Amino acid sequence: MQRTIRIFTDGSAIGNPGPGGWAALILDHSKRTVLHGGKSYTCITEMELTAALEALRSLREPSKVALFSDSELLIKGMQHLVAKWAREGWRNRRGGKLHYRAIWIELLALNAVHFIEWHWIKGHNGHREQEYADRIAYEQANALRYHLKAA
Protein backbone atom coordinates (compact mmCIF):
# COMPACT_ATOMS: atom_id res chain seq x y z
CA MET A 1 0.00 0.00 0.00
CA GLN A 2 1.28 3.42 -0.92
CA ARG A 3 2.10 5.59 2.08
CA THR A 4 0.22 8.82 2.66
CA ILE A 5 2.17 12.04 2.71
CA ARG A 6 0.62 14.55 5.10
CA ILE A 7 0.91 18.24 4.21
CA PHE A 8 -0.10 21.17 6.42
CA THR A 9 -0.22 24.57 4.74
CA ASP A 10 -0.93 28.14 5.70
CA GLY A 11 -0.66 31.65 4.35
CA SER A 12 -0.42 35.05 5.94
CA ALA A 13 -0.59 38.68 4.84
CA ILE A 14 0.04 41.71 6.98
CA GLY A 15 -2.33 44.43 5.89
CA ASN A 16 -4.10 42.11 3.43
CA PRO A 17 -2.95 43.31 0.97
CA GLY A 18 0.57 43.79 2.16
CA PRO A 19 3.66 41.67 2.73
CA GLY A 20 2.72 38.01 2.73
CA GLY A 21 4.18 34.65 3.61
CA TRP A 22 3.33 31.02 3.07
CA ALA A 23 4.49 27.77 4.64
CA ALA A 24 4.07 24.06 4.13
CA LEU A 25 5.00 21.30 6.52
CA ILE A 26 5.41 17.99 4.68
CA LEU A 27 5.43 14.78 6.70
CA ASP A 28 6.51 11.76 4.67
CA HIS A 29 6.85 8.78 7.00
CA SER A 30 9.83 9.80 9.16
CA LYS A 31 10.96 12.66 6.92
CA ARG A 32 9.90 16.20 7.82
CA THR A 33 10.29 19.02 5.26
CA VAL A 34 9.40 22.69 5.70
CA LEU A 35 8.94 24.93 2.68
CA HIS A 36 8.27 28.65 2.92
CA GLY A 37 8.39 31.89 1.00
CA GLY A 38 6.68 35.19 0.57
CA LYS A 39 5.82 38.14 -1.58
CA SER A 40 6.21 41.82 -0.82
CA TYR A 41 2.65 42.79 -1.81
CA THR A 42 -0.10 40.20 -1.82
CA CYS A 43 -3.19 38.99 0.00
CA ILE A 44 -3.82 36.02 2.22
CA THR A 45 -5.73 34.10 -0.46
CA GLU A 46 -2.76 34.09 -2.80
CA MET A 47 -0.48 32.92 0.00
CA GLU A 48 -2.87 30.13 1.07
CA LEU A 49 -3.04 28.85 -2.52
CA THR A 50 0.71 29.24 -3.03
CA ALA A 51 1.48 27.17 0.07
CA ALA A 52 -0.50 24.23 -1.30
CA LEU A 53 0.92 24.69 -4.79
CA GLU A 54 4.55 24.78 -3.67
CA ALA A 55 4.10 21.76 -1.40
CA LEU A 56 2.59 19.70 -4.22
CA ARG A 57 5.21 20.91 -6.70
CA SER A 58 7.90 19.59 -4.36
CA LEU A 59 6.71 15.98 -4.61
CA ARG A 60 9.04 14.01 -6.89
CA GLU A 61 6.62 11.28 -7.92
CA PRO A 62 2.86 10.65 -7.97
CA SER A 63 1.82 10.29 -4.35
CA LYS A 64 -1.09 9.71 -2.02
CA VAL A 65 -1.50 12.99 -0.13
CA ALA A 66 -3.62 14.25 2.76
CA LEU A 67 -3.42 18.03 2.50
CA PHE A 68 -4.68 20.11 5.44
CA SER A 69 -5.42 23.82 5.30
CA ASP A 70 -7.43 26.35 7.28
CA SER A 71 -8.43 28.03 4.00
CA GLU A 72 -12.02 27.12 3.25
CA LEU A 73 -11.63 28.63 -0.22
CA LEU A 74 -8.70 26.33 -1.05
CA ILE A 75 -10.40 23.20 0.25
CA LYS A 76 -13.88 23.89 -1.17
CA GLY A 77 -12.30 25.14 -4.36
CA MET A 78 -10.37 21.92 -4.90
CA GLN A 79 -13.15 19.61 -3.70
CA HIS A 80 -16.06 21.18 -5.55
CA LEU A 81 -15.44 24.34 -7.55
CA VAL A 82 -12.29 23.99 -9.64
CA ALA A 83 -13.81 21.58 -12.18
CA LYS A 84 -16.76 23.95 -12.65
CA TRP A 85 -14.44 26.94 -13.07
CA ALA A 86 -12.44 25.04 -15.69
CA ARG A 87 -15.62 24.13 -17.62
CA GLU A 88 -16.82 27.73 -17.48
CA GLY A 89 -13.61 29.28 -18.80
CA TRP A 90 -12.13 30.17 -15.42
CA ARG A 91 -14.84 32.70 -14.60
CA ASN A 92 -16.37 33.37 -11.20
CA ARG A 93 -20.10 33.09 -10.54
CA ARG A 94 -20.62 36.69 -11.66
CA GLY A 95 -18.87 36.01 -14.96
CA GLY A 96 -15.73 37.94 -14.03
CA LYS A 97 -12.17 36.71 -14.32
CA LEU A 98 -11.30 34.24 -11.57
CA HIS A 99 -8.64 35.56 -9.20
CA TYR A 100 -5.38 33.55 -9.14
CA ARG A 101 -6.43 31.58 -12.20
CA ALA A 102 -2.89 30.40 -12.97
CA ILE A 103 -2.51 28.95 -9.46
CA TRP A 104 -5.89 27.19 -9.65
CA ILE A 105 -4.99 25.73 -13.05
CA GLU A 106 -1.72 24.32 -11.74
CA LEU A 107 -3.39 22.98 -8.59
CA LEU A 108 -5.94 21.20 -10.80
CA ALA A 109 -3.13 19.68 -12.88
CA LEU A 110 -1.30 18.49 -9.76
CA ASN A 111 -4.56 17.11 -8.41
CA ALA A 112 -4.64 14.85 -11.49
CA VAL A 113 -1.05 13.66 -10.88
CA HIS A 114 -1.46 12.84 -7.19
CA PHE A 115 -4.25 11.21 -5.22
CA ILE A 116 -5.07 14.11 -2.90
CA GLU A 117 -7.55 14.22 -0.06
CA TRP A 118 -8.27 17.88 0.71
CA HIS A 119 -9.02 18.52 4.41
CA TRP A 120 -10.17 21.71 6.07
CA ILE A 121 -8.80 22.19 9.56
CA LYS A 122 -9.89 25.01 11.83
CA GLY A 123 -7.11 27.56 12.19
CA HIS A 124 -5.77 28.73 15.55
CA ASN A 125 -7.35 25.73 17.22
CA GLY A 126 -4.32 24.13 18.84
CA HIS A 127 -3.49 21.65 16.08
CA ARG A 128 0.31 21.36 16.40
CA GLU A 129 1.25 20.96 12.73
CA GLN A 130 -1.21 23.59 11.51
CA GLU A 131 -0.06 26.05 14.17
CA TYR A 132 3.53 25.46 13.08
CA ALA A 133 2.70 26.24 9.43
CA ASP A 134 0.79 29.33 10.58
CA ARG A 135 3.76 30.57 12.60
CA ILE A 136 6.23 30.08 9.73
CA ALA A 137 3.90 31.81 7.24
CA TYR A 138 3.51 34.79 9.58
CA GLU A 139 7.27 34.95 10.17
CA GLN A 140 7.80 35.09 6.40
CA ALA A 141 5.32 37.95 6.04
CA ASN A 142 6.77 39.78 9.02
CA ALA A 143 10.34 39.43 7.69
CA LEU A 144 9.22 41.01 4.41
CA ARG A 145 7.43 43.80 6.29
CA TYR A 146 10.57 44.51 8.29
CA HIS A 147 12.73 44.41 5.16
CA LEU A 148 10.39 46.82 3.33
CA LYS A 149 10.40 49.26 6.27
CA ALA A 150 14.21 49.16 6.42
CA ALA A 151 14.60 49.85 2.70
* Catalytic (active site) residue 124: yes
Over residues 118-137, mean pLDDT: 94
Q: In Å, how far from its chain's centre is CA 64?
A: 17
pLDDT digits (tens, 9 = 90+) for 56-111: 999 999 999 999 999 999 999 999 999 999 999 999 888 899 999 999 999 999 99
28 catalytic? Reply is no
Q: Judge contact between 34 and 85, C-beta under 8 A.
A: no
Who wins on pLDDT, 42 or 145?
A: 42
CA–CA dist 7, 5 (Å, integer): 7
pLDDT at 151 over 60: no
Burial class (CB in 10 A: 0-12, 13-18, 19+), 43: middle
The catalytically annotated residue of 29, 61, 96, 124 is 124
What pLDDT is attached to residue 149? 65
> By percentage, how much of the chain surpasses pLDDT 70?
96
Instruction: Given the residues 11, 18, 21, 77, select the one marked as catalytic.
Output: 11
Given 18, 20, 48, 77, the catalytic residue: 48
123 backbone dihedrals φ, ψ, rounded to 5°: -75, 155
Residue 93's pLDDT is 83
Alpha helices in the chain (DSSP H): 44-57, 72-76, 82-87, 101-113, 128-150
Query: What pLDDT is attached to residue 133?
Result: 97
Say whether pLDDT at 1 is over 80.
no
Is there a catalytic annotation at residue 48?
A: yes
- Per annotation, catalytic residue among 10, 20, 46, 77: 10
All domains of the chain in start order, with CATH: 4-150 (3.30.420.10)
Q: How confident is the model at residue 145 (pLDDT cuts 50, 70, 90)?
A: confident
